[in-house]
Amino acid sequence: MSMMDKFRKGAQKAGIQASAFLKEGSSRIANESQHFVQGFSLPGEAEKAAKILASFLADPEHPESALNAIPKAVLKHARGLAIFQVVKAGFVFSGKVGSGIVIARLPDGSWSAPSCIATGGVGWGLQIGADVTDFVIVLNSEEAVRAFAMGGNVTIGGNISAAAGPIGTGGAVQASLAHPAPMFSYSKSKGLFAGLSLEGTVLIERKDANRHFYGSAVPARDILSGRVPPPEVASRLYEVIEAAEGIDESGLPESAYVPTATGDHLDVRYGGTVFDAEGH
């Protein structure tokens, strides 16, 4: 075979591989984007938030899952929750866009109706190289809830600070709640916890989605203060929270850590690595 024939054969093989990669990548991103875009209405956002939150919380049928979940103690202490998904895209355009909801705990211990939020950058389409990351921000103070209830923008690290939240069970978790940051941030990429920084992230009240669902321009403060009754479309979300708050942790070993940006898990008591993201 001549050098030219070898070159042609190699080029043909490379072309087939590239086409397969593009087809597979486009299909994967199309599926992810379809799931993502369906959540732009409040009912879709509530359904998506329930699925996301369930992946961060312990499964009541498997109590041992509490060892690798947002702690029950953190959840019971929460004054509010912001749950959203971010798609970061490259190759064609670079940027990120996300949407989700925020809910607040009411004085009687129940949860408010959801208010839609979004974060964004450059617009995006079906692009190769998109990553999907799920976020749960636990609002630990009334100040944090007010930041979302005031309307307009909430800048993480600007208006209010956030720290990577603890995961697991035991006394170390309780100690972290003695003087918690206003917000604990949790993130998962490809199903694994990672301590991704939210510093500088801007979350925006989606007045359009709220108005469309609630039928009028209801401000976020009315939604989060309980003046708007919780809708049936958010019932699955409330069920997920209630189940996780009632999980039986008796008999479980004490194990608490904080995810780092690299996915390592640092023991919150000793600062040592407990196990890494690939090994759990």
Q: Which of 145, 136, 144 is nearest to 111 (CA)?
A: 145
Domain ranges of the chain: 3-275
What span, in angstroms and rounded, lies between the C-alpha atoms of 255 and 257?
A: 7
Q: Which of 231, 207, 235, 236 is nearest to 219 (CA)?
A: 207
Per-residue pLDDT of the chain (280 residues; tens, 9 = 90+): 665 565 455 545 545 544 444 444 444 444 444 444 444 789 999 999 999 999 999 999 999 999 999 999 999 999 999 999 988 765 554 567 789 999 999 999 999 999 999 986 544 444 455 688 899 999 999 999 999 999 778 888 887 889 999 999 988 898 888 889 999 999 998 888 888 888 888 899 999 999 999 999 999 999 999 999 999 999 999 999 999 999 999 889 988 899 877 666 666 554 433 333 333 3
